[in-house]
């Protein structure tokens, strides 16, 4: 409702000032302190333009302003205009939340589609906590986009033709060891051993490279064995994903890119005037993208090789072809088969040589969740699209970058095996142990397990999401499970408190002209802001905006809970109104957590 209020107030300010409604809306905010319910800094921003004192200008605008519905009065405080919301606004707010429940704050359904690609972990190791950040960021952004009304495809790129996979397959076929336990962990441990042999033993290097060629051929028995091993490893990785509520719609295998869309993609690259066949120098015979612009002009070797002289594509070449497919710029397509039925009931598909036609790709916007160190390669892909005449698609190729979660003084390395002991599974197991230790003794059986599962996953997810993606995370258990604030359990406990009251007395009814106390007003203002927070988080692809909102909402609810008795209110009308406020808080606490993938249990 804050968005609608901004629109109404923006029009009134435009009438009073002669400025555009959109410019006026930008000056409207929720003030801190007790200056008002809503504020505008329009006088401050217009002072220089009008050559007037901002405080005088604020008083002048206040005198001309015709207040829209939902506002009782306006007061000029220095250069700011402060507005007080009317009781009728709060009544409508409570009625709207009661009607829409967990859908409150969501956007209208749109026809536009966005593809979010994440986490694209090599299929020969378990997820470590760095991979987990990628997965949680991608999943939460997808959820926020859906909550805002967009159609979203969650895709995972499976690099089954890489050297790492060939090394793991060599170990699987030659070391004489049988897989034991969780396959991704077993393969990861095996890869550490094989990579050491590969670095020191020339014979192993030759055998691995021969094996890689057989895998790339796609028709060999080794290629079939590799595909089976990769699929099983990804299934094991997804067992980890499901613990944290991460799900996908489709897996695209690199081998299927080579076999399905590669030929047409290469033809499109060769047809482009921006892509040339190098006729001399070290890249003679290679297909080259001439990178132009200030950033590239200053580089010693700005040109990018898209295809080698033998016709095989580089990683950049395959990435560009895949990006063309994402936007529906290729006629050729993948076929798909079932990969697995996920715990949320959805079916995850995968590209497959013997599959059937399904509709994926052809989206308006493509988001690639990948680390900050990939900023330059991602920019190259965008600029190649632009040079090929696809400026709109270049602008809609979004690199959602993030900093990594590492050890104190080093990054994780699959080759060195420094992820051991710091896998996402290890993190979850420790989280379960800590969650179970905090649950009250009287909670037993299946209920205890459900609560522990929800709390463990939520505590970890929230700790990763509350930080803006550009900042590095140092994970701390004490912060993740704190009930004092800045954590998921803090917000979840507020939800459990609200549910306990609802369970005892219901949702109440809003009566005319309720006397609204300060703590009630502050809580209602936070409830009002949810739709705005969710839309901003979706627009900027920054889940931490909603995480911060959840903490503010929980703090406001706790203050309401402690200062405004609900079940023991002085009279029946007051009790009914407070029950309505409690129910609204309950719905929005659940909706806000849910929008970033966190379940809110009824009990804690």
Query: In whole angstroms, how far apart are CA 577 and each of 90, 295, 373, 506?
Result: 11, 60, 53, 11
End-to-end CA distance of the chain, in Å? Answer: 30
What residue has token string 């009544």? 91
Q: What is the per-residue pLDDT across 581-597, written as a single tens digit (0 to 9) for each?
A: 999 999 999 999 999 99
pLDDT at residue 408 in the model: 44
Predicted confidence (pLDDT) at residue 283 exceeds the cutoff of 70: yes
Name residue 423's beta-bridge partners: 128
Domains, the chain, ordered by start = 2-85 (3.30.1360.70), 118-400 (3.40.50.620), 424-594 (1.10.730.10)
If pLDDT is split at 50, 70 and 90, which confidence band does 419 have? Answer: low
Cα–Cα distance for residue pair 523/506, rounded to 1 Å: 19
Q: pLDDT at position 296, please?
A: 73
Is-contact 60 68, C-beta < 8 A? no
Residue 308 pLDDT grade (very low, low, confident, very high; cuts 50, 70, 90):
confident
12-48 b/e (C-beta count within 10 Å ≥ 16 → b): bbbebbebebeebbebbeebeeeebbbbbbbbbbbbe
Asked whether residue 513 carries a pLDDT value surpassing 80, the answer given is no
Is pLDDT at 409 greater than 50 in this prediction?
no
pLDDT confidence tier of residue 33, bands split at 50, 70 and 90: low
Residues 6 or more apart whose CB falls under 8 angstroms from that of 550 comprise 462, 491, 589, 592, 593, 596
* pLDDT confidence bin for 356, thresholds 50/70/90: very high
**Rounded mean pLDDT of the chain?**
91
The answer, yes or no, to whether residue 155 has pLDDT greater than 80, is yes
Q: Tell me the Cα Rg of the chain.
A: 28
Q: Do residues 5 and 38 make contact, with C-beta atoms less than 8 angstroms apart?
A: yes
d(CA 438, CA 455): 10
208, pLDDT greater than 60: yes
84-110: per-residue pLDDT in tens? 998 889 989 999 999 999 999 999 999
pLDDT of residue 407: 47
Per-residue model confidence (pLDDT) at position 539: 96
CB 322 within 8 A of CB 157: yes
What pLDDT, on the 0 to 100 scale, is given for residue 406? 59
pLDDT of res. 357: 92
Query: Could you tell me how many residues make up the chain?
Result: 604
* pLDDT confidence of residue 352: 96
For residue 208, what are the contacts with CB-CB under 8 A and spacing of at least 6?
Answer: 163, 166, 167, 170, 198
Residue 58 token pair: 């604020």
Residue 20 φ/ψ, nearest 5 degrees: -70, 150
| pLDDT per residue as tens digits for the range 285-299 | 888 888 877 767 666
Please check whether residue 324 is in contact with residue 314, taking contact to mean a CB–CB distance below 8 angstroms. Answer: no
| pLDDT score recorded for residue 264 | 95
In whole angstroms, what is the distance from residue 133 CA to residue 130 CA? Answer: 5
Q: Higher-confidence residue: 1 or 493?
A: 493
Rounded to whole angstroms, what are the CA distances from 412 to 164, 232, 429, 430? Answer: 16, 23, 20, 19
Integer CA distances (angstroms), 66 to 4, 40, 73, in order: 17, 14, 10
Question: Do 15 and 66 touch, CB atoms closer than 8 A?
Answer: yes
3-state secondary structure at position 520:
helix
pLDDT tier at 300 (50, 70, 90 boundaries)? low
Handedness of CA 203, 205, 210, 211 (dihedral sign): positive
Could you read off the pLDDT of 455-511 as tens digits, one per residue?
A: 999 999 999 999 999 999 989 899 999 988 899 999 999 999 999 999 999 998 877
Q: Please state, in angstroms and rounded to a whole number, the distance separating the CA atoms of residues 516 and 518.
A: 7
Band (pLDDT 50/70/90 cuts) for residue 561 is: very high
Q: How confident is the model at residue 135 (pLDDT cuts 50, 70, 90)?
A: very high
The DSSP bridge pattern shows strands 113-117 and 365-369 to be parallel
Q: Exposed e or buried b for every residue in 342-372, given b needs 16+ CB within 10 A?
A: beeeeebbbbbeebeeeebbebbbbbbbbbe
pLDDT tens string 45-86: 899 889 999 999 999 999 999 998 889 999 999 999 999 998
Say which range, 3-12, 281-290, 352-361, 522-531, has the weakest mean pLDDT: 281-290
In the structure encoding, which two tokens stand for residue 522, read together? 């502050």
pLDDT band, residue 552 (cuts 50/70/90) = very high
User: Per-residue pLDDT for 416 more than 60?
Assistant: no
pLDDT digits (tens, 9 = 90+) for 244-273: 999 999 999 999 999 999 999 999 988 888
H runs (alpha helix) in 110-182 = 129-147, 163-174
């Amino acid at each position: 409702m804050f968005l609608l209020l901004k629109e109404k107030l923006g029009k009134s300010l435009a009438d009073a000032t002669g400025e555009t409604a959109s410019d006026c809306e930008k000056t409207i905010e929720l003030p801190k302190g007790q200056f008002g319910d809503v504020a505008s800094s329009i006088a401050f921003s217009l002072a220089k333009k009008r050559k007037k004192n901002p405080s005088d200008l604020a008083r002048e605008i206040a005198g001309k302003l015709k207040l829209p519905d939902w506002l009782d009065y306006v007061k000029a405080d220095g250069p700011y205009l402060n507005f007080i919301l009317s009781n009728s606004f709060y009544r409508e707010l409570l009625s709207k939340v009661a009607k829409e429940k967990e859908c409150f704050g969501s956007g209208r359904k749109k026809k536009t589609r966005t593809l979010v690609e994440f986490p694209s972990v090599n299929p020969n190791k378990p997820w470590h906590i760095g991979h987990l950040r990628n997965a949680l960021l991608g999943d939460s952004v997808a959820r926020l986009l859906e909550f805002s009304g967009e159609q979203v495809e969650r895709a995972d790129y499976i690099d089954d033709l890489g050297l790492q996979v060939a090394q793991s397959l060599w170990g699987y076929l030659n070391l004489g060891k049988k897989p034991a336990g969780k396959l991704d962990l077993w393969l990861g441990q095996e890869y550490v051993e094989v990579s050491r042999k590969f670095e020191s033993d020339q014979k192993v290097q030759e055998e691995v490279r021969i094996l890689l060629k057989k895998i790339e051929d796609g028709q060999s028995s080794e290629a079939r064995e590799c595909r089976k091993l990769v699929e099983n490893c990804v299934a094991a990785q997804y067992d980890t994903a499901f613990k944290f509520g991460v799900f996908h719609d489709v897996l695209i295998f690199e081998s299927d890119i080579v076999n399905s869309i590669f030929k047409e993609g290469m033809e499109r690259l060769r047809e482009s005037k921006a892509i040339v066949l190098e006729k001399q120098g070290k890249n003679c015979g290679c297909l080259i993208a001439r990178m132009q612009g200030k950033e590239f002009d200053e580089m010693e070797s700005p040109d990018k090789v898209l295809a080698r002289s033998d016709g095989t594509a580089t990683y950049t070449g395959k990435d560009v072809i895949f990006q063309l497919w994402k936007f529906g710029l290729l006629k050729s397509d993948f076929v798909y088969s079932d990969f697995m039925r996920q715990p949320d009931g959805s079916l995850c598909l995968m590209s497959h040589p013997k599959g059937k036609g399904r509709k994926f790709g052809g989206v308006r916007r493509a988001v690639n969740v990948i680390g900050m160190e990939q900023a330059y390669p991602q920019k190259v892909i965008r600029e190649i699209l632009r040079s090929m005449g696809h400026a709109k698609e270049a602008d809609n190729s979004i690199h959602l970058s993030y900093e990594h979660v590492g050890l104190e003084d080093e990054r994780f390395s699959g080759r060195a095996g420094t992820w051991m002991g710091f896998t996402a599974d290890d993190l979850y197991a420790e989280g379960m142990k800590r969650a179970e230790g905090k649950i009250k003794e009287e909670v037993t059986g299946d209920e205890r397990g459900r609560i522990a599962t929800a709390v463990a996953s939520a505590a970890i997810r929230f700790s990763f999401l509350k930080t803006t993606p550009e900042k590095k995370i140092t994970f701390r258990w004490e912060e993740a499970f704190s009930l004092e604030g800045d954590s998921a359990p803090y917000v979840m406990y507020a939800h459990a408190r609200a549910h306990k009251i609802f369970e005892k007395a219901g949702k109440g009814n809003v009566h005319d002209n309720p006397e609204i106390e300060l703590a009630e007003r502050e809580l209602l203002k936070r409830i009002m802001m949810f739709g705005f927070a969710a839309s901003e988080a979706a627009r900027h692809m920054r889940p931490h905006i909603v995480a911060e909102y959840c903490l503010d909402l929980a703090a406001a609810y706790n203050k309401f809970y402690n200062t405004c008795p609900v079940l023991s209110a002085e009279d029946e009308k007051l009790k009914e109104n407070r029950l309505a406020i409690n129910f609204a808080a309950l719905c929005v606490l659940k909706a806000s957590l849910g929008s970033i993938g966190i379940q809110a249990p009824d009990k804690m």
